[in-house]
A and B are shown apart, each in its own frame.
Chain A
Amino acid sequence: MLRYTEEHEWLRQDGDEVVVGISEHAAELLGDLVFVELPAEGVTVAKGDEVVTIESVKAASDISAPLDGVITEVNTAIVENPALVNDDPLEAGWFFKMTLNDPADLDGLMDEAAYRAYIA
């Protein structure tokens, strides 16, 4: 069950952690990614902090931390091959994993139906 932010990130619960990526909609809007810079593992982040820099052919964008927490793991595969994000944004193109300061924060985010309505 995915949750979504208004910045088009998805979050999926994975035990104590959440996996974070960008939606198909976001990947399509951005176009072909050519560069990804991920945060360091172990870094503490607050909701809204710019944690990832992505560059498409046309422009640079930032991904913000969706909630308060700690980055536990980053997906180096997308640094090697940014196209993975465009090919498979919901699975292989994940960006990072994090633990949340308050897991209940997830409930405040949009579910699939709400996100679909949001991007309509």
Chain B
Amino acid sequence: MSEPLETPLNALHRSLGGRMVDFAGYGLPVQYPSGILKEHLHTRSAAGLFDVSHMGQIVVRPRSGAVADAAAALEGLVPMDVAGLAPGRQRYAMFTDEAGGILDDLMVANRGDHLLLVVNAACKADDLARLEAALAATCTVEMLDRALLALQGPLAAAVLAAHFPDVGGMRFMDVRALGARGIEAIVSRSGYTGEDGFELSLRAEDAVDVAEALLADPAVMAVGLGARDSLRLEAGLCLYGHDIDRTTTPVEAALEWAIQPARRAGGARAGGFPGDAVIFDQIARGATRRRVGLRPEGRAPMREGTALFAEEAGEAVGTVTSGGFGPSLDAPVAMGYVPIEAAAPDTRLLGRLRGKMLPVTVARTPFVAPGYKRH
């Protein structure tokens, strides 16, 4: 088995006492000495700093020089409105396949003269190959070798503004190039925690300096993958490979909101992405199952793989796809797929946990109120 790859912050994680694990082939800290609970709670009350450099940052550059051409090309792979994405804005997207299944979820940013995509680490090689194969005629596609840090929490803006004064003017999903003291960063006001926060794309050689400068602020704590997972779960955000994958369509996954009107049936650029027929059919007539939030009764977490039942006697009707303990709720939370008839909030189901059938209730997500600064 080969050694995991290192991000530019590897030595810093170790010096901070990070407990390193192999995640998508990269050595990353699952937690630091404070522990997952404290790291999670700190992010929701102050600011947490995450190393997400393992993710893929891909530039799609139009050969014509007009970003509209790159957007049009990318629309052949995603059900999203990319042509209508204004410069300096970013949106959530998904690659789909011919069956309407999800191949990866990602962020797409309009950087004025090119598109910047941020994709999941486990999928980045396949994503790059897919983009190159489909877009070669009209675009160059390049995987960047840059670091990516996330600073998340109610104090993130104040912390970052001390270094990059311009962040104050950014709305949720804005993307800007910012510079300060020789550091050049591409910053988006976005994240994976449900809190206000920023994601910073940096030159690899600047990553440690920026991380250390941010950690020097008493409001900031280093946060590992364990808390990243509990934070996104409480925020109702999907984890690719668990809540969404090739076997789930955007409609089944309750992500149809991300398919803008322009790409829907009757829209200006309806369809033209893989699986459009299947997805349009599901939008029109409904899918047979849906991803929902779940609140187990009691304190025992129901984790991924837990079978869900409508009644004590009978076959399983669904499965938990993500589950754990929500520190901000002081209770277990989960997400999973259930039949559409059982998908209404407050529907009572049973989860089979260690041989026992325990009550679990369908709940709306997010489980905690978001802190996004939309205005």
Chain A interface residues (CB < 8 Å from chain B):
31-32, 34-35, 37, 53, 55-60, 86
Contacts and interface: CB of A to CB of B under 8 A. Distances in A.
> How extensive is the interface on chain B, given as a class?
10 to 19
B159 interface: no
Given A57-B325, A57-B327, A32 B37 contact: yes
B226 A55 contact: no
Q: Classify the interface of chain B: helix, strand, loop or mixed.
A: mixed
Interface in B325-344: 325, 327, 332
Contacts of B325: 34-35, 55, 57
A60 B35 CA distance: 16
B35 A32 contact: yes
Interface in B343-360: 354
A31 B301 contact: no
Contact of B300 (A31, A32, A35, A58): A35
Interface string B11-49: 000000000000000000011000111101000000000
24 contacts: A31-B35, A31-B36, A31-B226, A32-B35, A32-B38, A34-B301, A34-B325, A34-B332, A35-B299, A35-B332, A53-B354, A55-B300, A55-B301, A55-B325, A56-B36, A57-B36, A57-B40, A57-B325, A57-B327, A58-B30, A58-B36, A58-B226, A60-B303, A86-B35
Contacts of A55: 300-301, 325
A26 B290 CA distance: 39
Contact of B230 (A37, A57, A86): A57
Interface in B288-324: 299-301, 303, 324
Contacts of B38: 32
Nearest to A50: B354
A35 B35 contact: no
Contacts of A35: 299-301, 325, 332
Given A31-B35, A32-B35, A32-B36, A57 B300 contact: no
A37 B300 contact: yes
Contacts, number: 42
A49 to B, nearest CB: 14
Contacts of B36: 31-32, 56-58
| Residue of B40, B299, B327 ringed by the most chain A CB atoms within 10 A | B299
Contacts of A37: 300
A33 to B, nearest CB: 9
Contacts of A32: 35-38
Contacts of A53: 300, 354
A31 B31 contact: yes
A64 to B, nearest CB: 15
Interface in B217-239: 226, 230
A35 to B, nearest CB: 5
Given A31-B31, A31-B226, A34-B325, A57 B37 contact: yes
Contacts of B30: 58
A86 B35 CA distance: 11
A34 B226 contact: no
A34 B324 CA distance: 10
A59 B132 CA distance: 39
Nearest to A80: B299
B343 to A, nearest CB: 27
Given A32-B37, A55-B300, 9 more contacts: A31-B37, A32-B36, A34-B301, A35-B299, A35-B325, A53-B300, A55-B301, A57-B226, A59-B303
A103 B299 CA distance: 36
A61 B38 CA distance: 21
Nearest to B303: A60
Contacts of B226: 31, 57-58
A34 B31 contact: no
Interface in B102-147: none
A34 B325 CA distance: 7
B38 to A, nearest CB: 8
